[in-house]
Structure 1
Amino acid sequence: MKSKIEPSAFGDWALITGASSGIGEGFARRLAAEGFNLVLVARRKELLFELGGKLSSRYDIQCQAIQADLTRKEGIDSVIESTGNLEVGLLISNAGTGNVARFFDRAPEDLTERIHLNATSHLLLTHHFGQKMALRKKGGILLTGAMGAVEGVPYMATEAATKGFIQALGKSLHAEFKEFGIHITVLVTTPTETPIFYKLGFSLQNTPVKPLSVEQCVAEALNALAKNKMLVYPGLKFRVMRALIPEPLSRKMSARILKRNNNIL
């Protein structure tokens, strides 16, 4: 599936958080192929430089790597300061992670860091780069949420709450940003074969529905952003499941699967 995202319509640079692996890396590869210069942000510096070097050589683009811990305000500030002279036309705010555990088994510091990474970083980067896009009357922002978050996910309560925040933020800003010519879309991430998929205890053997490829997830997300759709749920099979499975049953199924796959007693 070919995306319709072009630098001429948004701006020459795309900034991607969480770019060192998974969906973030997938966005980097696709946008490089579309001709965007890239700002790659993540904590793992070596992976960023390796990816950036490969993409700049293959597609004759510029790549800037920023090592930043977005669980800290200092990390967010470093991203903003390092891109002050760039025209960032696309913000792919993709940073985030998740753990499966009982709520009372998690330390307060862990919960706070998860909120900063999964919610606050998206909010502050959207505010900063959105203002710059508004002055140019063009730009695009994609926020990465998660399927099921707004319904609640047992044993991932904090993660669900932060991703629910992302969805509400994107939906709220969708109407506001139209007057500035800014596209904003929430990628409500459906099960996708990434490192986080396996980290949460899933495998291709214990999952009843096969996850999407990163390439399909990224392609559908970018097509939605190009069309300025408010939300995108990649994968027809997951859209059908969402429509057919009632919310209480979805929560019950999530609790059973996560508890079993992660040996929670």
Structure 2
Amino acid sequence: MSNINGTALVTGASSGIGAVYADRLAKRGLDLVLVARDTARMEGLAERLRGETGVAIEVIGADLTADADVARIEARLAARDVTLLINNAGMSLDGSVLENGPAELARIIALNVTAPTRLAAAAAKAFVAKQEGAIVNIASVLALAPEMFDGVYSGTKAFLLNLSQALSAQLADKGVYTQAVLPGATRTEIWERSGKDVDAFPPDFVMGVDDLVDAALLGFDRRETITIPPLPDEGQWQAMQAARLAMAPNLSKGQVAPRYREAVTN
């Protein structure tokens, strides 16, 4: 991998995107720390990759909705050998806010927002101290399409996109690269776990997980801040960014904008 050596810590590594990242990173010569709840599946993956690549692989069973488990992974990120964080663990809801209660909402926020934020912060501090490292946050194209599907899931992914852009701006000159990956619908177990049928989508709507990760890694090697594997026209993303940045000088003013003054004075 371009300019990255050492150890990659991958969350949600027992299946799907995380497991494919583990495969690709091991084949690029990085040692691995695999993190997920399902230790048996991770051990099977680790055994295969050790045999195929010879890299060192550590397996840590952890539930990233649990504060103590997140703290353990924060501590592991602080070790000198870790140079890459793949912040991948996440979940979706079965239904919307109308069908879910406080426990379900708290769980998705814990896993999709609180845990990756804490891990990104821990990694950032460790990487800045040694002036090298990279943080990859797996967000979603739904961060750009809040009207589609469930707003809670897309909101958590918009948070990761925002966090990634801020980290990129703040850490780039300190030797730390940050990438947000925005997959579209991808064929992983997240659909079944959230009560959805991925096969209900049109066949050309769902990307294979291997293709998704390979594209994301190409974006990594190119040092993209935002990688959107299904988007054919990069100019659309660039135009959106340009429009957003053009608003920046007008987003905070000492006076109400003229278009609101009548409403304020009458």
Aligned twin of 1:258: none
User: What CA distance in whole angstroms lies between the structure 2 residues aligned with 1:195 and 1:239?
Assistant: 28
Q: Which amino acid aligns with 1:159?
A: Y
Q: Which residue of 2 aligns with 1:39?
A: 33
Name the Cα RMSD after superposition.
Answer: 2.3
Q: Could you tell me which amino acid in structure 2 is paired with residue 110 of structure 1?
A: E
Q: Is the 8 A contact 2:84 2:134 kept in 1?
A: yes
Write the letter of the residue equivalent to 2:188. T
Matches of 2:237 and 2:55, distance apart in 1: 39
Paired amino acid for 1:180: K
CA distance in structure 2 between the aligned counterparts of 1:241 and 1:85, rounded to whole angstroms: 40
- Quote the residue 2:55 is aligned against: 61
Conserved in 1, the CA contact under 8 Å of 2:216 and 2:227?
yes
Distance 1:63 1:202 in 2: 33
Task: Find out whether 1:224 has 2:216 as its counterpart.
Answer: no
Any idea what the Cα deviations from partners look like across 1:30-55, whole Å, max 9, x if unmatched? 00100000000001111111111111
2:87 maps to a residue whose letter is S
Separation of aligned partners in 2, 1:100 and 1:154: 15
Contact 2:142 2:157 in 1 (8 A): no
Q: Which shows bigger deviation, 197-206 or 52-61?
A: 197-206
Bigger relative CO (Cα 8 Å, ≥ 6 apart): 1
| Contact kept in structure 1, 2:20 and 2:209, CA below 8 Å | yes
CA distance in 2, matches of 1:85, 1:182: 16
- Segments of 5+ residues of structure 2 without an aligned counterpart are 239-266
Moved more, 101-110 or 38-47: 101-110
Deviations 1:98-129 (A, max 9, x none): 02313132110111111110011111111111
Distance 1:202 1:170 in 2: 30
Paired residues of 1:139 and 1:181 also in contact (CA < 8 A): yes
CA contact (8 A) 1:138 1:182 kept: yes
Paired position in structure 1 for 2:70? 76
Cα deviation, residue 197, structure 1: 3.8
Match of 2:150 in 1: 156
CA distance in 1: counterparts of 2:203 and 2:48, whole angstroms = 36
Quick one: distance in 1 between partners of 2:235 and 2:131? Answer: 36
Q: Secondary structure at the match of 1:10?
A: coil
Code of the residue aligned with 1:51 in structure 2: it is: L
Aligned match of 2:118: 124
Of stretches 84-93 and 171-180 in structure 1, the one that deviates more from structure 2 is 84-93
Say yes or no: does 1:214 pair with 2:209: yes
d(CA) in 1 for partners of 2:221 and 2:147?
A: 30
How do 1:103-252 residues align onto structure 2 when only pairs under 5 Å count?
103-153=97-147, 156-199=150-193, 201-204=196-199, 206-207=201-202, 209-236=204-231
Please give the secondary structure, in 2, of the residue aligned with 1:191. Answer: coil
C-alpha separation between the residues in 2 aligned to 1:98 and 1:59?
33
One-letter identity of the residue aligned with 1:217: L
Relative distance call for 1:205 and 1:118 in structure 2 (3 A) is closer
Q: Secondary structure at the match of 2:139?
A: strand
Aligned partners of 2:222 and 2:149: how far apart in 1? 35
Aligned to 2:241: none
TM-score, with length taken from structure 1: 0.82
**How many residue pairs were aligned?**
237
Alpha-carbon separation, structure 2, partners of 1:234 and 1:69: 29
CA contact (8 A) 2:142 2:148 kept: no
In 2: Cα distance, 1:240 partner to 1:214 partner:
25
Aligned-residue offset at 1:11: 3.1
Q: Report the 3-state secondary structure (helix = DSSP H, G, I; strand = E; otherwise coil) of the residue aligned with 1:31.
A: helix
**Greater C-alpha radius of gyration:** 2
